[in-house]
Amino acid sequence: MTAITMNDALERAGAGAYQRRLMGIFGLVWAADAMQVLAVGFTAASIAATFGLTVPQALQTGTAFFFGMLLGAAGFGRLADRYGRRRVLIVTVACDALFGVLSIFSPDFTILLVLRFLTGAAVGGTLPVDYAMMAEFLPAKNRGRWLVFLEGFWAVGTLIVALAAWGASLAGVADAWRYIFAVTAFPAVLGLGLRFLVPESPLYLLRTGRSEEAKAVVNRMLVTNGRAPLDAGTGLFQPEVSKGQGIFSPALRQRSIMILAIWFLVSVSYYGVFTWMPAKLAGDGFGFVRGYGFLVLVALAQIPGYALAAYGVEKWGRKPTLIGFCLLSALGCLLFTLASGGAMIAASLLIMSFALLGT
């Protein structure tokens, strides 16, 4: 009996129809998570009006949501390694849908805070596991570009929630935050059903001793992509990774710390601006830069940013692309702090939207 590594099997399968189907399913939930995150800013003014709060008080929903994300990412990530990616993803998407729907009917602000915390925990669990699972169905040579494509669904979610908020504003919808939460919950409800069509990660199956199940998943992938399945005499194996080969091993420690620092700083910049900005623009704004219409333009600016990042990671490499987008993001942030007029504020916000997500 011959044996090949899982990486070799994925290279043989390539990236084709099977991965495109998975991208549609994972991308839908990725967009749903973006909508839940960005809803923090888009609902603040309406929540404040409903419950007699100031906008800063209403933005406590963001504090609760992001604290939930922190705990959810840490907890569900470990559970996915222990109990499987598929099982955890189904649970987190179900919780996302359930608590997202319940948020619509919150009778008071305290209950809303609790529900947004629980929704945040579900989203925090979905995002890293979703990303890891998509990566485990991709060959190494295609992984960078395809994962940027997955990230691109964040822009789709941002655009949808911006359009929903704009539509609610134009229609004069009472308690618009309930309408926005309904829009953000719908993709999660739809994604829950589609999750059952996704098999368990073959890499997880192989690492937990379920080699025949892993081979069956790989063969479905091969056949769907128009390749010959593995014959009966071919098995799969994955080299063991010792604790000394982890991301904080001597060989990788410096690189891992740098990447974590970059991720942290980019997150501070992105969430610091884009959870506060919708409430600001919905109110007095910055001169002519105000209203949800401009926010739609800001959301649209993310799409070419993702497209350029997807091209760059394969054409120029990961490091040069990351450096370029970080520098452009820094330029946008600097221009925003120095801006004295509406035109410069508008330009800086568009630059930040284009560049921050590309990192």
Asked whether residue 219 falls in the same domain as residue 340, the answer is no
Q: State how many domains the chain has.
A: 2
For residues 233 and 300, state if they share a domain.
no
Q: pLDDT tens across 230-285, in order? A: 888 788 877 776 655 677 888 888 888 998 998 898 888 888 887 777 766 665 55
Say yes or no: 15 and 155 in one domain. Answer: yes
Q: Give mean pLDDT, residues 154-165.
A: 89
- Verify that 125 and 228 share a domain, yes or no: yes
Q: Domain check: are 50 and 26 in the same one?
A: yes
Q: Which of 192, 224, 239 is the last residue of a domain?
A: 239
Please state, in angstroms and as integers, the Cα–Cα distance from residue 159 to each residue in 152, 196, 222, 268, 300, following that order. Answer: 11, 27, 35, 21, 7
Q: Are residues 282 and 190 in the same domain?
A: no
> Do 185 and 53 share a domain, yes or no?
yes
pLDDT in tens, 98-145: 999 999 999 999 999 999 999 999 999 999 999 999 999 999 888 888
52: left (phi over 0), alpha (psi -120 to 50) or beta: left
Higher pLDDT, 196 or 64: 64
Of 239, 257, 284, the one marking the end of a domain is 239
Mean local confidence (pLDDT), 318-334: 89
In this structure, are 19 and 56 located in the same domain? yes
Count Cα atoms within 13 angstroms, Cβ side, for 326: 15
Mean pLDDT across the stretch 300-327?
A: 87
Exposed e or buried b per residue across 16-48, where buried means at least 16 C-beta atoms within 10 angstroms of its C-beta: eebbeebbebbbbbbbbbbbbbbbbbbbbbbbb
Q: Copy the structure tokens of residue 153.
A: 């669904």
DSSP state for residue 5 in the 8-state scheme: E
At residue 177 the predicted structure's pLDDT band, cuts being 50, 70 and 90, is very high
Query: CATH number for the domain including 50?
Result: 1.20.1250.20
**Structural domain boundaries, residue 18:** 1-239
189 and 280 together in one domain: no
Is pLDDT of 21 > 90?
A: yes
Residue 288 in this model has a pLDDT that exceeds 70: no
pTM: 0.87
User: What tens digit of pLDDT does each residue of 337-349 get?
Assistant: 888 777 888 888 8
Q: Are residues 233 and 345 in the same domain?
A: no
- Which of the listed residues 194, 213, 239 is the one where a domain comes to its end? 239
Identify the pLDDT of residue 287. 47
Asked whether residue 163 falls in the same domain as residue 23, the answer is: yes
Classify the phi-psi angles of 175: left when phi > 0, otherwise alpha if psi is within -120 to 50, otherwise beta: left
Amino acid in the structure at residue 37? V
**Whether residue 163 is found in the same domain as residue 139:** yes
